[in-house]
Structure 1
């Protein structure tokens, strides 16, 4: 793996002039339009924007799930654009944790087995003491032998977070991780992500539509039409909601048909 050099680089994820298009000719859709941004170590960033703003495409390109049409993505010192599919899969498995709105747990496996799955897929023998410690940290020590069907939605998302943390990733990507949860449970899940950043030095990048979820982040990045449309640092839920309201109005205005005065 290529590294930045002897010194630790503070940006764990970097996108430079990333463009992503789908289709050809007149039917071409530009999902990301020359997007450049970095994410520092031990930071929590929320990514927000109107529907169709490019949030999911951004996450997929940043996490190596999709290749940009142009530009470069560097993750933990490795340029993803240089890697073949096997190397990209290994990098995702070893250096990235994923938490999705759908918990994506294996129904036939226990909590312990679900959390151990990334290590087993990597051919690494799971350390049971480590597994149980991660499960304890997400508040499920008494549920380690239960299967997903025996857990609430919030408990299943805690398992997903434990699974994301167990390989000690450089980055945790979340795609609407609180979208299917009630408010109280969502706050508990966000606190776990916050702890992974503050205590363990992980970098968290979470796509969300929820201003309250975004207010747990260090900064909020707003996307519109595949471009960065602004940032908020140390955000409050009200400030995020206000910005999203203006952004939505701006996006509607930008895409509305031109009215000609007669």
Structure 2
């Protein structure tokens, strides 16, 4: 796996004219329509957009979970298009962390074993001191022997965050990581992600529908019809909500136009 020299050194994730098309003929849907973006190292990026805008497809292509129809994706300097499936799996395991809305913990394993599972699957022996540090960072030092069923939703998501961070990945992708949590717990989890950027220089990319969640990011990208149509630096919840309101109205107008156009063809 060769890395890219020069200009992309600080772009942990680089998308170049990425298209993703599902289906064919009349059923063809363009989920991503020529997306180009750099996501810098050590930053927190939120991705927002109306339903069907391409948010999940963006995350899946950027993380190497799905291959684009055309265009290229580089992750930590590696061009994903040239990788075979086995190489892609290895790269995701070693350089990518994931935090999902459903915590995806192993119910039979305790906190510590859930956190160290990615390392053990990769054939690595976890360093006790590093595991201790990440578990302490997420506030679960006294709960290491508890199983997921003995933890609250917020505590389970903390375990998932620790699991994503313990491999020291190049980037952590979050797919609605606070979607199943109450407001106070969500704020605590977002604070943890924010801290990971600050104390570990972690890179985080988070898909969310929540303006409050997006306000924890350094930058918010707005997707509509598979394209990045806007961005906010150092966003506030009010700024994000306002942009989303405009995007929602725009999306409704586009849908109405498309229906009319389809009816007259």
TM-score w.r.t. length of structure 2: 0.96
Instruction: Give yes or no for contact 2:23–2:29 (8 Å, CA) kept in 1.
Output: yes
The residue aligned with 2:177 is 177
Q: Which residue of 2 aligns with 1:165?
A: 165
Aligned residue runs from structure 1 range 243-258, under 5 A: 243-256=243-256, 257-258=259-260
Moved >6 Å (runs of 4+): none
The superposition leaves residues 27-84 of structure 1 with CA deviations (integer Å, 9 ceiling, x where unpaired) of 1111000111110011100000000000000000000000000000000000011100
- Over aligned residue pairs, what C-alpha RMSD do you find? 1.4
SS of the residue corresponding to residue 260 of structure 2 reads coil
Q: SS where residue 258 of structure 1 aligns?
A: helix
1:14-163 map, 5 Å:
14-163=14-163
Structure 1: any 5+ residue segments left out of the alignment?
none
1:2-42 CA-partner distances (Å, limit 9, x unpaired): 12237881111000000000111111111000111110011
Distance in 1 of aligned mates of 2:82 and 2:3: 13
Indicate the SS of the match to 1:119.
Answer: helix
What is the distance in 1 between the residues matched to 2:69 and 2:84? 15
Specify the SS of the correspondent of 2:17: strand
Judge conservation of contact 2:97–2:164 (CA < 8 Å) in 1: yes
Q: How many pairs align?
A: 260
Q: If each structure's helix is expressed as a fraction of its own residues, which one has the higher value? A: 2
Q: Summarize the Cα distance change of 1:130–1:211 in structure 2 as closer, same or farther, 3 Å threshold.
A: same
Cα distance in 1, alignment partners of residues 158 and 175 from structure 2: 15
2:212 aligned residue: 212
Unpaired runs of 5+ in structure 2?
A: none
Question: What is the Cα deviation at residue 207 of structure 1?
Answer: 0.1
Task: State the 1:217 CA deviation.
Answer: 0.4
In structure 2, distance between residues paired with 1:198 and 1:49: 26
TM-score (norm: length of structure 1): 0.97
